[in-house]
Amino acid sequence: MTINPQGQSNKYHSLISQRVGQLLPSGIRRFFDLLASMEGVISLGVGEPNFNTPWHIRETAIYSIEQGYTVYTSNVGMLELRELLSCYLKDTYKLAYKPNSELLITVGVSEALDLAMRATINPGDEVIMPDPCYVSYSACVILAGGIPIMVTTSEEENFEISAVDIEAKITNKTKAILMGYPANPTGTVMPANKLKEIAEVARRYNLLLISDEIYAKLVYGATHTCMATLPEIRHSTILLGGFSKTYAMTGWRIGYAAASEEIISAMTKIHQYTIMSAPTMGQVAAIEALKSSDNSVTEMVEEYNQRRLMMVEGLNTIGLPCFEPKGAFYAFPSIKATAMTSEEFAERLLLEEKVAVIPGNAFGKSGESYIRCCYATSLAELEEALARMERFVAKYIKI
């Protein structure tokens, strides 16, 4: 709010829109800023693979630049990439999406999420989502003029969201359910029967389902069920996927949305006015990733699995009980034994032992008393991080 020359406040003169004013600064950002000013820190903070993008993908992209692939692509993305994605979704899930009308290539899942919200949400619409969840979900809903409605999940229930709890939050303003499994920050993979119950609720109340499946390929001894395969909601689901995590391609900025022609054309309207087209070199790299990266992905998943086992066992041993994550690359241990808040714990751990983790409350109220540790870093660094955390916990453990 600003004050006019007469000394009266006038909310219409605020430089910043009310929607943006509602957003809290990301809890994650604050830690990155602190971290950037320190040396010798082991970061379990950023949710990013420590692998380089496989060489054959990088090489193909370099060659594409040499060949002059330096211009815009079609608004919806390169046809070859859409065709390959269509085949991928058919081979993996037996889902048929038409490359010409039901797929849109975006600037990461980040853009796809924003588009999905802005294309479907009217002011005041409510969007139900799990708590804790990925930090952008509620922000994208607010920016689209909607209202995020959080459904508490708990460690006792493996941080799974329940159809009963979702149904209890439905009002005549509910427009959509937004969720992402395998989950950031908990690593939860939802069992198929529970997803089916949620699909049934969505169908009964005629709700849109936005499913962020960016970690679909990163599962360990569990089966990921794609929401769009559930026949109840196939046509009311917006499926979001991307290349950042599976292929270690965070910087290339490529994601996609798969949905009905009506929804994809609405999302494309916003995309063409605000983005034009996703990065061309990134799209060329994504084509190569889809064509020939199965072995690289298998190797990375095996490596993540080793780290996951070590991390979870290590955390439990040092006194931070950790539920077993079956997907993504995050461990979400409880810090209740230290009686600190998540922010206090994360800040002191960083300052005293130079280990960066993300306070669980950055992902929602139900994340309080937990921390998120990303194990997409080398085994040697994880070992050292655990040794430092052990020293820290031993100092502060209360019970």
Residues in contact with ligand PLP by CB under 6 A are 47, 108-110, 134, 180, 184, 212, 214, 242, 244, 250, 255
Least separation, in Å, of the C-beta of 253 and ligand PLP?
7
Angle, helices 280-292/79-93, rounded to nearest 10 degrees: 40
Please, which residue, 180 or 314, has the CB nearer to ligand PLP?
180
Least separation, in Å, of the C-beta of 352 and ligand PLP?
27
Least separation, in Å, of the C-beta of 135 and ligand PLP?
8
Please, which residue, 178 or 198, has the CB nearer to ligand PLP?
178
Residue of 207, 63, 47 lying closest to 125 (CA atoms):
207
Least separation, in Å, of the C-beta of 114 and ligand PLP?
10
Q: 12 Cβ partners below 8 Å, 6+ apart?
A: none
Please, which residue, 109 or 267, has the CB nearer to ligand PLP?
109
Please, which residue, 376 or 389, has the CB nearer to ligand PLP?
376
Least separation, in Å, of the C-beta of 337 and ligand PLP?
27
| Sheet arrangement for strand 255-258 | 103-106, 255-258, 237-242, 208-212, 174-179, 126-131, 147-152
Q: Which residue is nearest to ligand PLP (CB)?
A: 108
Least separation, in Å, of the C-beta of 47 and ligand PLP?
4
Q: Give how far the C-alpha of residue 288 lies from the chain's centroid of Cα atoms, to the nearest Å.
A: 23
Least separation, in Å, of the C-beta of 242 and ligand PLP?
4
Least separation, in Å, of the C-beta of 238 and ligand PLP?
13
Please, which residue, 109 or 318, has the CB nearer to ligand PLP?
109
Other CB atoms within 10 A of residue 154 CB: 11
Please, which residue, 216 or 233, has the CB nearer to ligand PLP?
216
Please, which residue, 110 or 293, has the CB nearer to ligand PLP?
110
Please, which residue, 244 or 361, has the CB nearer to ligand PLP?
244
Least separation, in Å, of the C-beta of 282 and ligand PLP?
10
Please, which residue, 97 or 247, has the CB nearer to ligand PLP?
247
